[in-house]
Chain A
Amino acid sequence: MLALNETWYLVLAAMIFTIGAVGLLTRKNPLVMFMCVELMLNAVNLTFVSFSQALNDIAGQAIVFFVLVVAAAEVVVGLGIIVAIMRRRQGANADDISLLRG
Chain B
Amino acid sequence: MRVEMFTFLLTAAICLAGSFGVVLLRNPVHNALSLVATLFGIAVLFIQQGAYFLAAIQVIVYAGAIVILFLFVIMLLGVDRAEGFDREPILGQRPAALAAGVAILGLSLTALLSVGSRVTGQASTLAAIDGAEPNINALAKVLFTDYVFAFEITSVLLTVAVVGAVVLARKAGAAIDAEEFPDGTAADLLQVRYEATEVADPELGQLDDGNASDSEPSGDDTETTTEALR
Q: Per the CB under 8 Å rule, do A and B touch in the complex?
A: yes
A contact set with B: CB distance below 8 Å = 1-12, 14-23, 25-29, 31-32, 34-36, 38-39, 42, 45-46, 49-59, 61-62, 64-66, 68-77, 79-84, 86-93, 95-98
Q: Are A35 and B32 in contact (CB under 8 A)?
A: yes
Q: Are B122 and A55 in contact (CB under 8 A)?
A: yes
Residue from A18, A51, A53 within 8 A of B121 (CB atoms): A51
A-B contact pairs, 7 of them (CB 8 A): A9-B45, A57-B128, A57-B129, A58-B142, A61-B51, A64-B51, A83-B76
Q: Are B104 and A53 in contact (CB under 8 A)?
A: no
Q: Indicate whether A90 sits within 8 Å of B222 (C-beta atoms), given known contacts A14-B109, A26-B97, A83-B168.
A: yes
Q: How many A-B Cβ pairs are below 8 Å?
A: 285
Q: Indicate whether A98 sits within 8 Å of B186 (C-beta atoms), given known contacts A56-B123, A65-B57.
A: yes
Total count of chain B residues near the partner, CB < 8 A: 106
B contact set with A: CB distance below 8 Å = 1, 4-5, 8, 12, 15-16, 19-20, 22-23, 28, 31-32, 35, 38-39, 42, 45-46, 49-51, 53-54, 57-58, 61-62, 65-66, 69-70, 73-74, 76-77, 79, 81, 83, 88-90, 93-94, 96-98, 100-102, 104-105, 108-109, 112-113, 117-119, 121-124, 127-129, 135, 138-139, 142-143, 146-147, 150-151, 154, 157-158, 160-162, 164-169, 172-176, 185-187, 190, 210, 212-213, 217-219, 222-223, 226
